[in-house]
Amino acid sequence: MPYVAKAINMVDEPAGIFVHSITETGRLLPSGSRWNSIEIDVSLLPPSTTPSDSLPSKYSKSLEFTLTIRDRTRFRRFICATSSLVLLAVAALLLTALLPRKRPDVSSSKNIPLALSHALQFFDAQRCKQQATVMGFASLSCSINLVVFDRGKILMLIFSAGILAKSNYSVAFRGDSGLQDGNSEQTHADLVGGFYDSGNNVKFSFPIAYAISLLSWTVIEYHQKYEALGELDHVKDVIRWGTDYLLKLYIPSNSTSGSTILYSQASAQQLFTLIDGAKENDLTCWQRPEDMKYERPASVCRNSATDLAGEMMAALAASSMVFRQQESYSRKLIQTAQSLFEFVKKTRKFPETYSANECGKEARNFYNSSGYLDELAWGGTWLFFATGNYSYLEYATEKFVSASDTQSSANKGGFYWDNKLPATAVLLTRLRYLRDPGYPYEINLRISTDWASNLICSYVSPNRGFNMTPGGLIIINPNESGTLQFGVTAAFLTKVYNDYLKSLRIPGENCGFDFFSLQTLQTFSRSQASPKTTGSNTKQLQLVNYVLGDNPANMSYMVGFGESFPKRVHHRGGSIPWDGRHYTCEEGKRWRDRKDPNPNILRGAMVAGPDKDEKFFDERGWPAYTEPTLSGNAGLVAALVAVLEPQVPYLGWDDRNGGIDPDGIFLNLKLGDYS
């Protein structure tokens, strides 16, 4: 509180001058009234060396001078020149403020915004059948097309399904496909929509839900960054596309149906007989989605698939926070997530993974789930943040402890479609650090915090963690292909954890006898996912940009980014030209087996990447190296938006918290409400 002093003259009569102090000024200022002052005897203070007349006077001061004009012509010229300079300065300021900012150059170290934009475009490429409008835009269709984006007039491939309509992400050439998904002799469901998973034309529900939950988390944390880049509507459009599809996958039991249904897959891989007698399916055929003629039924899980239900409730609960301003839609998402939670509780006596069930047998070779406890902890955590109901927090922390006790060593540390435990630990640590609920959650939250701390240390500490390739890529699961998907999510978790510490003004992380500063944590994140920088030999800049170019192959593993990138991507739509012809199942294989680069650029797709020895083969027939996936690109988007820094000239957010919104995730929480 500012203090006010009444100055007492050292002679017999007081001067009657009232002064007060405001901390920011660092000096005494005149006070207009004695009633907001505190009277003190300044004789008790050391004598001031500042004369009393240095106090601001309540009267204005003036200076007198004489201006003599000897040459009126020169004076008029002076006035005109000065006025012109002022007008030019004002015009320059207006142009600077109003003209659109120039996008950074591809060779620039500030090019993460372009990489992020490309990575989001891959999701446009994988879409299946759009409805009338999404996020206020007319929608796309499920088809594979060559497109031209308005931004930069970038020629790229779009791979989506349905009936074409104009949108903010419109395309030059479109084709319809996947319009009967789910409707067959075996199933009668409307499963048009969603995303094709990878280089094939299958739609797996499990990785779709994972991708949507991760993208939603990035928007909740970094919406200011997305908005500054002009990509907020884009990423929300992608999320909305996914949630609309997820809502179709869940049919709760009712009076007419005693079973709860979850659709785990659209377009089964079983062989079906066509009119012409040929047996074809999504894997045996190499076709654009537009050329598919075979049935695409759905795989149906009845009263089972605990892990799929947990992942879906995480995606729907997290996305409900993304769309909180659209109240009716947000409410629908959270109500469906809560209904899935009740379904999971009913199956707790006989829980099982979806891939262990008959409904998931066709997904085992691609997305074989190793457990369900991590999905339940993940889903329960997001339900807590979305509702503020502390019973979900109790559930989530209990499941987290159980999952951490039973996690396999092969999965430890890797955040990807099969393991949500690392992400859940970081999320619960965020809660404990920034909004500690206290009793009765201290013990379990302490466990999650210790788990998260050990996780981050395992990423950045050479003595306690995972191996790194000579080129700088972290190897988390050496027995799995797709090394890049693990690197980018490790980068994301490290950076978001770094930002939590930064918002608390904690200087770094203690890892046993080692201490890693915030700069070190950020350096690790950038080393896995940010663009190549030249002109410096520092370790930090040598480590940046593995995915986007700074690696032994000297190539970007994002298609269409930089001068050198994979040209023979394992992707049906990308490898077959858009030439107006229909290619049969066998005719398409001609394009699969050719040695030439793909005719279409699947811009923004992150391929599987090199193996643990950093060998990479740009061959269409080697999907372990050249196939992109929906889940992998979700991790890439997360890493890129996390490491994006405000040095980029046209970004203006406050970086004191690392770019996160420290309170947005807590908007639904009410302290003291443990109902």
- Residue in 214, 206, 217 with CA at minimum distance from that of residue 249: 206
- Residue in 491, 498, 542, 489 with CA at minimum distance from that of residue 517: 498
Question: 3-class DSSP state for residue 127?
Answer: strand
C-alpha to C-alpha distance for 290 and 279, rounded to whole angstroms: 18
- φ/ψ (deg, to 5) at 146: -90, 125
Query: Residue 298's beta-bridge partner residues?
Result: 266
CA distances from 45 to 39, 48, 317, 444, 642 (A): 13, 8, 63, 56, 54
C-alpha to C-alpha distance for 296 and 270, rounded to whole angstroms: 9
C-alpha to C-alpha distance for 250 and 262, rounded to whole angstroms: 5
Tokens of 105: 């150059």
CA distances from 160 to 203, 316, 635 (A): 11, 22, 20
- Residue in 501, 647, 669, 638 with CA at minimum distance from that of residue 221: 638
The sign of the dihedral angle between the CA atoms of 604, 605, 611, 615 is: negative
Helix or strand run (H / E) with residue 28? strand 27-30
Query: Residue 266's beta-bridge partner residues?
Result: 203, 298
Helix or strand run (H / E) with residue 509? strand 508-511
Annotated catalytic residue 223: no
List 188, 570, 571, 582, catalytic entry? 570
Question: 3-class DSSP state for residue 557?
Answer: coil
Tokens of 478: 């050496």
C-alpha to C-alpha distance for 600 and 568, rounded to whole angstroms: 10
C-alpha to C-alpha distance for 268 and 379, rounded to whole angstroms: 27
C-alpha to C-alpha distance for 15 and 304, rounded to whole angstroms: 87
With 0-12 / 13-18 / 19 or more C-beta atoms within 10 angstroms meaning exposed / middle / buried, residue 199 is buried
The sign of the dihedral angle between the CA atoms of 519, 523, 526, 532 is: positive
- Residue in 276, 273, 300, 275 with CA at minimum distance from that of residue 284: 273
3-class SS string, 452-465: HHHHHHHHHCCCCC
- Total Cβ atoms within 10 A of residue 345: 10
Residue 339: what residue type?
S
Question: 3-class DSSP state for residue 614?
Answer: coil
C-alpha to C-alpha distance for 5 and 40, rounded to whole angstroms: 6
- Residue in 445, 329, 325, 441 with CA at minimum distance from that of residue 390: 441
Angle at CA of residue 594, ends 588 and 596, nearest 5°: 125
- Residue in 454, 468, 364, 458 with CA at minimum distance from that of residue 418: 364
The sign of the dihedral angle between the CA atoms of 459, 465, 471, 477 is: negative
Greatest alpha-carbon pair distance for the chain in Å reads 118
The residues annotated as belonging to the active site are: 570
